[in-house]
């Protein structure tokens, strides 16, 4: 029943969408566009898609197994929260979320104070995107598909997927990913009407920062989940699906900065327009890759090459027309063609250069094996060593440019004051680097460089703060750049100084390594509603610190599955992390893996700071560049 309503809602949305597109096209030919009509149709479309979404959530909530998606992905014994969040954890449901966000952005955009021609052409383009995806949804991925006879129980009870972080990470990720659609449409509209100007940049900045911030949150949540739940101590694996979300993030960071420059000077307009198109194109490409079955990844959705083909064709068409509009109508730079190297604008260009480089590294690393396999029948793997080798040195150099960019003026250049500032920052950085090296006792070259340049950035932010007459001007940049400096610093320390102990241990035994002591006190068994648990109680000592860790093995009943649960102690200087190896038992000993992960909490905090900078910018009233 609800399924039918849901289906009707989707079809209604599609009909209204086609009507909007046709009526807008016809009336624009007559040069007499009815803006109010477009606005209202737009709202109605959002309403119907929202209704369809609610009906889908409802079907999951009440475990309506006549719905194929519910049957395949849910189970009556799941807690309600996970039943509901399960609705977007599968292909069909996530596509509904995708389209919902497309149309919500469209409706919110109609409230903006942009001139009506530009605004409604944007909404027109946005609705073309909605058309493509609605057709895809209804005809190849119907979320209200019926299965008959109605099964008594569902299939989806994988305990690993029942996790709060994992459940909320898709909506955030999608607001980011899909949010770039409105910037894409707005850029195309601006290009088409030849109104792509500094004013466009000012008006676009709000939407860019929202999508960027939410994408950062989405990626951050995924990373935190991986660290806490997967049990291998890592938080980023260069997995193809992770990379598919990182590529748009890199493009949008470039866009964010290029747009800031576009607000100040006309030199960057065509480049910003190009980035606006490229960012959403990479989002679409990511969507395609993840669902097509091409990628070899733990995240892979249920694959279906037919769906892959449709999305591929849709992306090619959308991309073609977008670039066509760009080629025919890109804004010719009116300002004189020379930019001073030692200026903020130029350093923003350099940022873009690095971002595009990182983007190409991630794309090539992900797609090259696929390319070799498909064309030359050769199979290779590209793992973390490739990315680390290529990215680390460039990130280090980027840090220096990030440090000086905000300290340079847009137009004027004073060589003497630049030299003075380089000396001051370098001196302070050298001092702090020595302190850090002395404390951590690692002098490998890459580590020292990473520490030096991330401290350089952090100290330069302090200089940035003192330069401000009013602290609230540029606060967003200060907070985000500060966060980024801490992030890189923490990642270097974490990578170089993590300790790992893999040992067999039996009850009563104590293992000692360096300053760490692990004592296996006892085993406790417990029984919950849906699993049996074997908990190992350990007493861990590090120098004078001492605390308990209790990793466990869980045997779930339905489905029959064993998981290893980690036990983590967070401290300011690092995390202590213990997990039991599932598959290795040696007589009366169990294999445990213990990690000391320095500065983990700093990594999460720095990501929060970066996001906070984004929110500060979103809520800022006036322009503060």
Partner 1 sequence: MQYKAKIIILSLLLILIFLFFYKVLLTEKTYHPRSMIGKSVPEFSIENFKDANRKITNQDLSAKETIILNFWASWCVPCRVEHPMLLELKKKNKLFLIGINFKDSASNAKKFLNELGDPFDSIGSDPKGEVAIHFGVYGIPETYVIKKNKIVFRHIGPLNQDVVNKIVSLK
Partner 2 sequence: MIKKFFITILFFFLITNVSFGNDQLKNKIYKNLRCVVCQGQTIYESNSDFAVDLKKLVEKKLNNGETEQQIYSYLISRYGDWIVMTPKFNLSNVFLWIIPIGVFLIGLLTISKITRKSKFNS
Sign of CA dihedral 372, 373, 377, 379: positive
Least distance to partner 2, CB of residue 417, Å: 8
DSSP state of 146: B
Alpha helices in 240-268 (DSSP H): 240-264
544 binds, among partner 2, partner 1, none (CB under 5 to 8 A by kind): none
Subset of 288-307 contacting partner 2 (CB under 8 A): 295-300
381 forms part of the interface with partner 2 (CB under 8 A): yes
Number of residues this chain uses to bind partner 1 (CB under 8 A)? 23
| Residue 79 exposed, middle or buried by CB count within 10 Å (0-12, 13-18, 19+) | exposed
User: Given the complex with partner 1, which of 112 and 303 has the nearer CB atom?
Assistant: 303
User: Given the complex with partner 2, which of 196 and 387 has the nearer CB atom?
Assistant: 387
Subset of 252-291 contacting partner 1 (CB under 8 A): 288
Q: What is the DSSP string of 405-426?
A: GGGS-SS---HHHHHHHHHHHH
Least distance to partner 1, CB of residue 124, Å: 22
HEC assignment per residue over 504-536? EECCCCEEEECCEEEEEEEEEEEECCCEEEEEE
Pairing of β 531-542 and β 545-549: antiparallel
Q: What's the Cα-to-Cα distance from 150 to each of 65, 71, 157, 563, 602, rounded to whole Å? A: 6, 9, 18, 31, 50
SS3 26: helix
User: Given the complex with partner 1, which of 370 and 497 has the nearer CB atom?
Assistant: 370
Among 15, 160, 335, 374, binds partner 1 (CB under 8 A): 374
Q: 223 with 172: CB under 8 angstroms? A: no
Least distance to partner 2, CB of residue 85, Å: 23
What count of other Cβ atoms lies within 10 Å of the Cβ of residue 466? 7
439 forms part of the interface with partner 2 (CB under 8 A): no
Stretch that binds partner 2, among 109-117, 206-214, 385-393, 606-614 (CB under 8 A): 385-393
User: Given the complex with partner 1, which of 324 and 625 has the nearer CB atom?
Assistant: 324
302 forms part of the interface with partner 1 (CB under 8 A): no
> Minimal CA–CA distance to 594: which of 557, 555, 542, 554?
542
Among 309, 389, 397, 430, binds partner 1 (CB under 8 A): 309
494 forms part of the interface with partner 1 (CB under 8 A): no
Cα within 13 Å of Cα(518), Cβ side: 28
Beta pairing partners, 571:
574
Subset of 312-371 contacting partner 2 (CB under 8 A): 337-343, 346, 349-350, 352-354, 356-357, 360-361, 364-365, 368-369
Which positions lie near partner 1, rule CB under 8 A?
A: 288, 292-294, 303, 305, 308-309, 312-313, 316, 319-320, 323-324, 327-328, 370-371, 373-375, 377
Q: Which residues bind partner 2 (CB under 8 A)?
A: 230, 232, 239-240, 267, 295-300, 337-343, 346, 349-350, 352-354, 356-357, 360-361, 364-365, 368-369, 372, 376, 378-386, 388-390, 392-394, 396-397, 412-417, 445-446, 449, 495-498, 500, 502, 581-584
């Amino acid at each position: 029943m609800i399924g039918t309503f849901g289906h009707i809602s989707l079809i209604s949305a599609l009909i209204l969408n086609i009507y909007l597109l046709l009526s807008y096209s016809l009336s624009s030919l007559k040069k007499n566009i009815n803006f109010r009509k477009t606005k209202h149709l737009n709202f109605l479309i959002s309403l119907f898609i929202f209704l369809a979404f609610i009906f889908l959530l409802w079907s999951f909530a009440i475990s309506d197994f006549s719905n194929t998606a519910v049957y395949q992905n849910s189970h009556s014994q799941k807690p309600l929260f996970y039943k509901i969040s399960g609705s977007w954890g599968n292909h069909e449901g996530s596509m509904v979320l995708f389209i919902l966000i497309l149309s919500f952005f469209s409706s919110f955009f109609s409230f903006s104070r942009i001139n009506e021609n530009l605004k409604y052409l944007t909404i027109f383009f946005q609705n073309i995107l909605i058309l493509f995806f609605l057709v895809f949804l209804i005809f190849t991925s119907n979320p209200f598909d019926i299965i008959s006879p109605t099964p008594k129980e569902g299939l989806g009870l994988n305990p690993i997927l029942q996790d709060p972080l994992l459940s909320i990470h898709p909506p955030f990720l999608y607001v980011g990913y899909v949010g770039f659609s409105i910037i894409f449409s707005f850029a195309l509209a601006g290009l088409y009407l030849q109104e792509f100007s500094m004013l466009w940049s000012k008006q676009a900045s709000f939407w860019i920062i929202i999508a960027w911030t939410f994408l950062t949150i989405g990626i951050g949540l995924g990373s935190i989940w991986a660290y806490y739940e997967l049990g291998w101590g890592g938080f980023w694996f260069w997995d193809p699906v992770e990379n598919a979300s990182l590529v748009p993030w890199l493009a949008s960071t470039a866009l964010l900065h290029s747009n800031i420059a576009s607000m100040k000077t006309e030199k960057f307009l065509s480049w910003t327009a190009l980035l606006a198109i490229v960012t959403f194109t990479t989002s679409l490409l990511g969507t395609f890759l993840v669902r097509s079955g091409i990628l070899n990844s733990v995240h892979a959705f249920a694959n279906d090459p037919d769906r892959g083909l449709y999305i591929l064709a849709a992306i090619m068409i959308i991309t073609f027309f977008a670039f066509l509009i760009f080629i025919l109508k890109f804004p010719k730079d009116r300002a004189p063609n020379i930019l001073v190297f030692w200026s903020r604008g130029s350093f923003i260009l350099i940022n873009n250069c690095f971002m595009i480089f990182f983007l190409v590294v991630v794309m090539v690393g992900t797609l090259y094996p696929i390319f070799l396999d498909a064309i030359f029948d050769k199979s290779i793997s590209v793992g973390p060593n490739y990315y680390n080798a290529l990215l680390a040195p460039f990130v280090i150099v980027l840090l220096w440019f990030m440090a000086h960019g905000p300290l340079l003026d847009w137009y004027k250049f004073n060589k003497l004051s630049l030299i003075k500032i380089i000396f001051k920052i370098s001196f302070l950085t050298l001092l702090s680097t020595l302190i850090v090296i002395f404390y951590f006792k690692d002098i490998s070259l890459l580590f020292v460089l990473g520490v030096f340049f991330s401290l350089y950035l952090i100290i330069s932010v302090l200089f940035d703060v003192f330069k401000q007459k009013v602290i609230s001007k540029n606060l967003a940049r200060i907070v985000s750049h500060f966060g980024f400096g801490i992030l890189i610093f923490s990642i270097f320390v974490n990578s170089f100084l993590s300790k790992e102990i893999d040992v067999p241990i039996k009850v009563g035994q104590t293992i000692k390594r360096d300053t760490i002591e692990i004592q296996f006190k006892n085993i406790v068994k417990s029984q919950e509603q849906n699993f049996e648990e074997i908990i190992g109680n350990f007493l861990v000592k590090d120098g004078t610190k001492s605390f308990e860790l209790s990793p466990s093995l869980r045997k779930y009943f339905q489905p029959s599955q064993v998981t290893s649960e980690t036990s983590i102690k967070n401290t300011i200087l690092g995390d202590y992390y213990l997990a039991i190896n599932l598959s290795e038992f040696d007589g009366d000993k169990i294999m445990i893996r213990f990690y000391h992960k320095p500065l983990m909490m700093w990594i999460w905090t720095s990501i929060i700071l970066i996001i906070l900078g984004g929110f500060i910018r979103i809520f800022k009233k006036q322009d503060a560049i």
